[in-house]
Amino acid sequence: MTHITPRAAQGRASWAAAAVFFALFISAAAARAGEAKAPSPFQKSAALFLQACSKCHTIGGGRRVGPDLRGVADRHDKDWIVGFVQNPESYLDSDPAAKKLLAENNGVRMENAHVTREQAEGLLEFITAAASAPSGEARESRLPEEPLTAKLRMPDEGVEGRSLPALALFAVLLLAALALARFGRRRDASLLFVLAAAAAYWGFGGWRHHRLAGDQQGYEPAQPIAFSHELHAGKLTIACLYCHGGAERSDTAGVPSAGICMNCHGAVRARAGQKDPSPEIARIVAAWETRTSSAPLILSWTRVHHLPDYVHFSHRAHIADNLQCQECHGPVQTMARVRQAAPLSMGWCVSCHRTPPQSAPSHWKRVGGPLDCAACHW
């Protein structure tokens, strides 16, 4: 019979606690790393709907070739819908409910989109979620104050700074440190604890915070949707203020809500000359159509320009007749992905305040901008 001393029992308990802690910790990190990249099943269903169904059906937008699918789950049970969507031909030939629909639709037959059962279930889920958004007029009149569809995420947030190998190293070092501590080798253990802390710091992306806040020139993060200024502001020549109207009125320029995108993408679903709808546009539509349901997709853009909190900058004060956005943001209309063109350092602000550029209005050139510390730091 083995004899368990209190100390050994305590040791085992702390080992078990440490193991559980690491399992949770690594899986949480891995889950978050995955979440940022792959489209969710829901997003895939949204894209599939736009690709395979939207030419004949709307969800709450009235009938097209086939019936409006809003409330379809109340008209049939789930198995019927999933079966019908997978195999419309045989239902239309033999199922009484489908035959009735066929008659109501003047004999126009639904196409077989050749979806799997899983896809059909996903489609039904998407249709149900999208249908819980208000339809028609009500949707349009809400455009201006659309609170939940756009927000800027800080560059340090999310998974970009995280390094999984460094987190794994952290786990190994910490386990080793615990082992050494357990065998009484205090000095070696504390060394390993320090190394583990350093690995954790690296692993969680702590080092990124040590870039000087203004030292982000050239920063060009990927965005959740491949929105291109080159296409919209350059080729389609949409005015900057159409989407960033805040710049004229307030400190922040703001990013447009999905509602602004939907002014056009309610109708534009594909690139010019392409037959298939764009999956990127499908994601905007999905965000829009689910915005009031319980799990809405949010367009969460990654923030590019970011001054430290102790600096006060106001767009409104800088938007003048001749001074273009490009003076500070560079040729945004040529950027497929927004890049920080200026250093945004104190020296950069102050040197323009001393000698405003030629393009600035004349009263600017006379007075320049403020140089006293309190103008920018309060």
Residues in region 142-181 near ligand HEC by CB under 6 A: 152
Among 10, 40, 314, 334, binds ligand HEC (CB under 6 A): 314
- Cα-Cα-Cα-Cα dihedral sign, residues 13, 17, 20, 22: negative
Mark residues 257-296: x for contact with ligand HEC by CB under 6 A, - for none.
---xx-xxx--x--xx-----x-xx--x------------
Among 44, 139, 269, 315, binds ligand HEC (CB under 6 A): 315
Helix (H, G, I), strand (E, B) or coil at 151: strand
C-beta separation of 216 from 344 below 8 A: yes
Among 15, 230, 323, 339, binds ligand HEC (CB under 6 A): 323
Residues 175-214 that bind ligand HEC (CB under 6 A): 212-214
The helix (H) or strand (E) run that includes residue 271 is none
Residue number, 168 or 319, with CB nearest to ligand HEC: 319
Residues 69-98 that bind ligand HEC (CB under 6 A): 69, 72, 75-76, 81, 85, 92
Residue number, 11 or 224, with CB nearest to ligand HEC: 224
C-beta separation of 167 from 205 below 8 A: no
Residue number, 166 or 359, with CB nearest to ligand HEC: 359
308 binds ligand HEC (CB under 6 A): yes
Helix (H, G, I), strand (E, B) or coil at 131: helix
> Which residues in 239-346 belong to E strands, given as ranges?
299-302
Residue 40 CB, nearest distance to ligand HEC (Å)? Answer: 18
> Which residues in the chain belong to E strands, given as ranges?
150-153, 299-302
The closest alpha carbon to 154, from 27, 349, 308, belongs to 308
**Residue number with the shortest CB distance to ligand HEC?**
214
Structure token digits, residue 11 = 């040791």
| Count helices and strands in the chain by DSSP H and E runs | 20, 2
- Candidate segments 37-45, 134-142, 191-199, 297-305, binder of ligand HEC by CB under 6 A: 297-305
Q: How many C-beta neighbours within 10 Å does residue 265 have? A: 17
253 binds ligand HEC (CB under 6 A): yes
- Candidate segments 136-144, 168-176, 187-195, 308-316, binder of ligand HEC by CB under 6 A: 308-316
- Cα-Cα-Cα-Cα dihedral sign, residues 51, 55, 56, 59: positive
123 vs 48: CA distance, rounded Å: 8
Residues 213-252 that bind ligand HEC (CB under 6 A): 213-214, 223, 225-227, 229, 231-233, 236, 238, 240-244, 247, 252
